[in-house]
A and B are shown apart, each in its own frame.
Chain A
Amino acid sequence: MSNLFKVWIGLLALGVLLGLYTTFQIFTIGHGELANTTQLLPWGLQVSTYIYLALTSTGCSFVYCLATLGGVDKLKPIVPRAVLLALLTIIAGFTSLSLEIGRLERLAIEFIVNPNLTSPMWWMGVFYTMYIVVLMIELAAMIFHIEWLMKVGSVAVLITAIAGHSTLGSVFGVLEGRGYGFGALTPIYFLMMAFLGGASLILLVSCLISIFKGSNKEFDEAVTTLRKVFLASVAIAFLATVWRYVVGVWVSDPYYDLFDLGFNKFLKFSLLLGMIVPVLIVVFQKKAGIGLALAPIIVLVVQFIDRNTLIVGIQKIALLQGVWEPRILPYTPAPVEISVVIFVMSIIGIIYSIAEQRGFLEKIKH
């Protein structure tokens, strides 16, 4: 185990410890008391992190399905990695969400005893539970080489990923009263953006493996294909983002202001920095390495911020605002919310890094 790896694991372990302490505080003092969410702005950084991670997980599953169902054989070396990352990111996402819920202890029982079939959130819970179970089965099938189960599992992963993630989009899509987030386009927008997150994370991980483990032919070929997948995912995300904003500027009056306020920033940030710069990097950097890794890093950071802008932005325009009330509601995440994000990210990092370092993922062949 190299010293660098030890430092890396040490840092992540610190993140997990910080998170455990935060969790203890949340359960003893109360999340509402510690977080900066308010009566009027109830969903903050933790919810946007959940959506970001769910998005990334779905994207990882899409890339995985491209290899298994799409017949892109060159992606085979990343198959077990994609499944593990999909599983870790969705579990981390749910951890972030759970730590925001007021009465967590009621969640499982009430979801079963009192289902509300008109609620997208209920369906989201159902589909994501199925998704997590299917991913676990798929990983087990890979470890134990159960061929037929792997095939069936791939189809099930694809179906549950689409169902879960588009339902997550509809959680926001039905919010008719909030122009910035509402719309039938939202579930489709979420699906289109998902591919980008997953392709970026897998490209980043592949570059890091090449840097730290040295390159081999099979892996280099996978990276070449991943570059193309990444470019395709950016193209899809670009379309989805542009259309969303075009629709956005046409929605009713108060929301126009928000688009107007954010439009300049959006052009520079989401599209130029978050998509065009990474595309240029990927076009000119053909080999796996630090240069190429920069592209997915930029995308992942910009997407993280973009998710927060979207989720908080939905709530930022005060509903039925009066003359004396602030037109745009303020929100900055509190330390407790940031700690939860560090916590869940560290969980993903630590489990994945150890699995990779121990060669666990290399032993699994699809």
Chain B
Amino acid sequence: MAIDLAKCVGCQACSVACSMENTRVPGENWHKVIFMNEGETGTKKFTWYPRPCQHCTEAPCTKVCPVRATRKRKEDGVVLINWYKCLGCRYCVMACPYGVRCYPEVKPLLEPDIKEVYHGRRAKLWDPPYQLSREEQDGKRGTGIPPKGVVTKCTFCAHRTDRKEMTPDRDPVKDRDFTPACVIACPASARYFGDIDNPESEVSKRVERKGAYRLREELGTKPQVFYVK
């Protein structure tokens, strides 16, 4: 994924779209837009940083998970959690340098507790009337409503993207149903989703043309989310 920071207006539409698409509880922010302060006093520059899971190439979360519940998919490099294996030990939450992992079974951020309002049935943490279809909910990929006591995170909307063969790019209009919700919701068209290994993809071209950087690059995690300006 590439995100053009010069286009981002900080409207948070991507965060809202993510929460609605993936049915997250309040505070379980799979996606955030962080307002960051760069530079020294006097030359301060404020920048919006949309922050999904970085789907790191060298993902610390996959290395520390004691039971391989969180794995990197070989085909596309997407990092997913298997909710049927996860122990809820939260070691991965500690290890992720970007704070993207969530443990939804914590005290509710808002009252009434939405998990109680839509009380969990069939081993689900909660069971709201609005949620992904049964086929799209897949505990092995960590999409949909989780069971109790497991860790969750952004899947790059695997339930959408997996439905189409790998292509250089996903056009947010033509490939609407196969593109991550944050990409199609962005009113400034600041987000690009495609195959970074394919030099023909829009993502590769933008990274090539405009130069890009990644978050906390010094850690060697090699995120697959590139920020261009």
A interface with B by C-beta (< 8 Å): 30-33, 35-40, 42-43, 101-104, 106-107, 110-111, 113-116, 118-122, 125, 171, 174-178, 314-315, 318-325
Contact = CB atoms under 8 A, between A and B. Distances in A.
A55 B29 CA distance: 35
B94 interface: yes
A178 B85 CA distance: 26
The 5 closest A-B CB pairs, nearest first, are A102-B88, A177-B97, A102-B149, A32-B105, A319-B99
B7 to A, nearest CB: 19
A17 B86 CA distance: 30
A177 B28 CA distance: 21
Interface residues of B, number: 46
B67 A39 contact: no
Interface of B: 27-29, 32, 34-37, 46, 49, 51, 60, 63-69, 85-91, 93-99, 102-107, 148-151, 215-216, 219
Given A101-B87, A103-B88, A320-B215, A39 B102 contact: yes
Contact of A116 (B65, B96, B219): B65
A115 B94 contact: no
Given A119-B63, A174-B64, A178-B94, A114 B106 contact: no
14 contacts: A35-B106, A102-B89, A103-B150, A110-B85, A115-B68, A116-B64, A121-B66, A121-B89, A176-B97, A176-B219, A177-B98, A318-B99, A319-B96, A322-B35
Nearest to B148: A30
B91 A176 contact: no
A215 B103 CA distance: 53
Given A39-B103, A102-B87, A116 B67 contact: yes
A280 B26 CA distance: 53
Given A104-B87, A115-B68, 11 more contacts: A30-B105, A32-B104, A39-B106, A102-B88, A102-B149, A115-B66, A116-B68, A119-B64, A176-B60, A177-B216, A318-B99
A338 to B, nearest CB: 16
Contacts of B151: 102
B121 to A, nearest CB: 15
A122 B94 contact: no
A150 B20 CA distance: 62
Nearest to B63: A118
Contacts of A121: 64, 66, 89, 91
B89 to A, nearest CB: 5
Nearest to A102: B88
A103 B86 contact: yes
A122 B102 contact: no
B35 to A, nearest CB: 5
A121 B28 CA distance: 25
A118 B66 CA distance: 8
